Structure 1
């Protein structure tokens, strides 16, 4: 091991491979994000100490062009906190160390350092995404819209668009929330104190006070057709929304176009994105409300064609909108040949002193589970750092030593996620969980009550057209069941095509911190090691040469190269 680190350290001083494109101090990134600590202020003077991006939350909108390499420089301007940035929904078939997950693909960005992320969306990636930190509870405020433009004309025509990012507001700080979730005894974060739209909103405390406060407002031009990009960047809340006097036409889900689907309401949870079009009227209200958690938060927003009109609420305008309780899972894809079916059973467990963790198949996985990220270790130690496939087959698909799930390139996995009754306090309680895959979009093959039945679900799949998603909900159909009893399921099919290390996890930040995550390794070491060790060396240690600071510039090898015609993958 010492020899490996000595060899790596000799490679950290300069670009060494003349045949590769490498950048240093002269390089100019396409986008710059700077994360700092500051006071976040929302309507009516409510403030909270928060992590901010370029001084705001949400952060600035980033737009990318398909087929074009973009470099996004992320500065960690915080004196004591680590940081990463994840490009939610963009599969890391892209640059190997640019996914932004600190416990799988990269070492986090140390305090007062910066990192250059290489992002290269393809033509089929056009759509609505967002970026966010993947460290602790930072993503509650460290997030922002990420849009991949269409190549040519989109399948649905519109004149203009509006991006609407939903976020939660908590009075507790990020560090206090994270510390409480990991504490012994456990301390819950509390429920959301407000759902904000693009950082605007009215907290429950202000609503209860009876004070008037400006509503989130979106200005429109008469006679125009708009595309509305809704981004679910909440930490906890599943939000149901309805627009006064309007049906909603859904044209995309999780950055994939769908057949136009008309509905009278939309339900959006953390990690999900939906695109709507065709809202036409003079002025109208939108009501939005959290679901399946007590207490219910209710908020309002205004879409207006006359910018002179002003609206405020105490606590809400007098409009009547009834929000449904459940959203249909939509159209499911037809079945593909499955090589392996894996069942992940999630449940919380508590200790006699009150310590609570989430476990999947009796294993918990957090950003603290391993002292080193998986991908750098595969580069340093080769096949010995890859989970044992044979051992995993004997243990429900997971190598218990690595706490990771291996898969071979070419497999088609059917992944079943089971919701079981909680064993904490012996109450059999149930929760809802939005599950997100970093390994790319998957075929969502439905959800249901009780235990998954493959034969019955195959009948349900007959005749459906494929729908690709990256975040879908594991629902609950009752408040509680027997301890450890299967209560509901969600099922996916994933084609294993891109070698690397990935996360599949619940996107509720509290649950992630408490262990509701799984690490996956696709392919063997040779397939994963896509770039030479010399060029990967700056990524393999904490604060390595790929991470710059005020004293020195990073040395970054380009995974993609520009040619006169098109980028190419080495």
Structure 2
């Protein structure tokens, strides 16, 4: 009876929505075509998932407050795909977050989907897009920049986008099969760090690949947009003979912070201001190029790769095929808790939730376990794309999932997790304090670092530290620190390589106001860890909240390969939500 009445409400509301057929007369703002083919990176040919025939794919530029339609074609022959707009809130168009099994059915092979993307006012900054299926994001990705609708708060002459990624010679399917097999096979450590798709190492002396060149001119100021689009690597980055000023983190402007290096984990983005050297200084310098040095952190093997910051020259251009040896800068070591309690928002945020407003604290213990295969667990549970039979959001619309019942079970169990639906439910109006608690691996006490990413609304990062989370101690520290900034990806540090099995070894704490109904992935952004189960799902609001926010939805979105997904012979039937 509940499902029948829910469906009546669902489609009754849907009749009032803006339904459009996106036929040949309709044109998207951007087109992305996802293919799988042989592609050369780091002097090696690999079968890879690409966007518009390259990795990274084209840079997209959107504008605050404006709807952009982005058509994504899945030109692969067998694989599903999606595109996630990493860091952008997607609550205005419920099926546009790009998280398969959570908020949409994936795009079948030979089909396409029109994503409705509307960056909120106040979210101008640096983002990226990537596939959210399997291991495709190792190559299927590209930069996404949101331009401000008003004047930028910082002045600079020009900007450069610098996207960082990893390289493995093994193809995606082989890596995923090894990670999920009962005969566990690790992917191996990254074989190269790529800058805007380019990398070269000492061992590549016969290949035709080159170091990336970032071209700048003297006497100018530059905004460098760094995008951590790596699959696994947590990187330290420094520019020879140049310091920078951080002005943005994850799409939010910050007060300027001087630094000689950056630490960038998978999923994180930073904008920095760089003052180029003067023409007079360069005239007396022995060369006009300087190395950007990148080093992997918190991994069993250290890899150092390079790019080149290049000033114009007529007689001595940088040799992009020669790798500096020894490295021009000291090889970096990890700075545990880098920027914690230091980075501040550009302007005080009146919406920051204080401790007395917190309605629930949810502690999520994370560790690796070995059963019939190697998995990562959150409060004893793993989550993979096949965990739900259909996407949670679809099940909420059709009445198969009742968030109210999930919420009651989760609260009764005491730690916020509903073990029936494998979700963390929350009600609109709550203020959550979410604590990621690192623990030693079950078999040997090993500890890893994890960049945790939240879909949907950004959270306020209230810090991190060693051992077990102590709310009272952290609250005292917050009293003398700058107001926490909003982030969508922050690092759960490990603080040591190993400890006792299940012993606490580091924590990361967030606060978030539950304001936007929907289904949101919260997960480690290391692709290997995601494939091995280090993901979970938060549902915000009940079914009435979801319907109130979006209205009803058409059946076209609620079945795999439904009429909202176009193909060669079928123009998609689309609901335009905004």
TM-score (norm 2): 0.90
In the other structure, the counterpart of 2:95 is 97
- Once the two structures are TM-superposed, the CA of residue 42 in structure 1 deviates from its matched residue by 2.5
Work out which of the residue numbers 140, 143, 150 in structure 2 matches 1:142.
140
| Aligned equivalent of 1:331, options 342, 345, 361 | 342
Where 1:394 maps in the other structure, the secondary structure is helix
CA distance in 2, matches of 1:447, 1:239: 19
The Cα of 1:525 is off from its aligned counterpart by 0.6
Give the distance between the partners of 1:235 and 1:32, measured in 2 at CA: 24
* Closer, same or farther: CA 213–381 of 1 in aligned 2, 3 Å: closer
Q: Of 238, 241, 255, which residue of structure 2 is paired with 1:259?
A: 255
In the TM superposition, residue 314 of structure 1 has moved relative to its aligned partner by 4.6
* Structure 1 residue 332 displacement after superposition: 6.7
Any idea what SS the aligned residue of 1:175 has? Answer: helix
Structure 1 unpaired stretches of 5+:
561-570
Aligned residue number for residue 280 of structure 2: none
Deviation at 1:385, TM superposition (A): 5.9
404, 419, 424: which one aligns with 1:405: 424
Among candidates 374, 384, 388, match of residue 402 of structure 2: 384
Residue equivalent to 2:33: 34
Residue of 544, 555, 571 corresponding to 1:526: 544
- Matches of 1:415 and 1:276 in 2, distance apart? 29
Structure 2 Cα separation of the partners of residues 332 and 338 of structure 1: 22
Match of 2:297 in 1: 291
The secondary structure found in structure 2 opposite 1:457 is: helix
1:24-64 Cα shifts (integer Å, max 9, x gaps): 21221000000001122125x32111001000000000000
Q: Could you say which residue in structure 2 is the equivalent of 1:566? A: none
Offset of residue 278 of structure 1: 2.0
Q: What RMSD in Å do the two structures reach over aligned CA positions?
A: 2.3
Structure 1 equivalent of residue 349 of structure 2: none
Cα 1:278–1:232 shift into 2, 3 Å:
same
Counterpart for residue 510 of structure 2: 492
| 1:261-313, Cα deviation, whole Å (9 max, x unpaired) | 00111110100000011231343211111111122111111111215503235
The alignment of Structure 1 onto Structure 2 pairs a total of residues equal to 547
1:385–1:260 CA distance, 2 compared to 1 (3 A): closer
Matched, 1:415 2:415: no
Q: Could you tell me whether the CA contact under 8 Å between 1:181 and 1:189 is conserved in 2?
A: yes
- CA drift of 1:205 comes to 4.5
Q: CA deviation at 1:390?
A: 1.7
Name the structure 2 match of 1:345. 365
Residue matched to 2:470? 453
Question: How far did residue 259 of structure 1 move?
Answer: 0.5
Give the Cα–Cα distance (whole angstroms) in 1 for the partners of residues 575 and 406 of structure 2: 30
Q: Is the 8 A contact 2:76 2:110 kept in 1?
A: yes
Task: Report whether the alignment pairs 1:444 with 2:461.
Answer: yes
Structure 1 distance, partners of 2:477, 2:486, is: 17
Q: Which residue of 2 aligns with 1:548?
A: 566
Q: For the Cα contact (< 8 Å) 1:332–1:444, is it kept in 2?
A: no
> Partners in 2 of 1:127 and 1:343 — Cα distance?
30
Matches within 5 A, 1:200-215: 200-203=198-201, 205-206=203-204, 214-215=210-211
Q: Structure 1 residues 517, 386: closer, same or farther in 2, change over 3 A?
A: farther
Q: Is the 8 A contact 2:254 2:343 kept in 1?
A: no
1:375 to 390, 393, 397: 393
Contact 2:245 2:259 survives alignment (8 Å): yes
Structure 2 unaligned residues grouped into runs of 5+ = 278-287, 345-351
Alignment partners' CA distance in 2, 1:272 and 1:192? 18
SS in 2 for 1:549: coil
Contact 1:302 1:311 in 2 (8 A): no
The answer to whether the 8 Å contact 1:68/1:121 transfers is: yes
Q: 1:181 is paired with a residue of what secondary structure?
A: helix
Which range moves more in the overlay, 220-229 or 366-375? 220-229
Q: CA deviation at 1:79?
A: 0.6
Residue of structure 1 aligned with 2:272, choices 273, 276, 286: 276
What's the CA shift string for 1:83-140, capped at 9, x where partnerless?
0000000012220110000011000000000000000112211000000000000000
Compute the displacement of 1:71 (Å): 0.2
Mapped to 1, the partners of 2:401 and 2:384 lie a distance apart of: 23
Q: Matches of 2:37 and 2:241 in 1, distance apart?
A: 40
User: Cα deviation per residue 1:352-394 (whole Å; 9 max; x = unaligned)?
Assistant: x5x1111111111111111110000111116636652121012
Q: Distance in 2 between matches of 1:432 and 1:204?
A: 28
Q: Who is 2:126 aligned against?
A: 128
Distance in 1 separating the partners of 2:422 and 2:466: 28
For residues 81 and 530 of structure 2, the distance between their equivalents in structure 1, rounded to whole angstroms, comes to 16
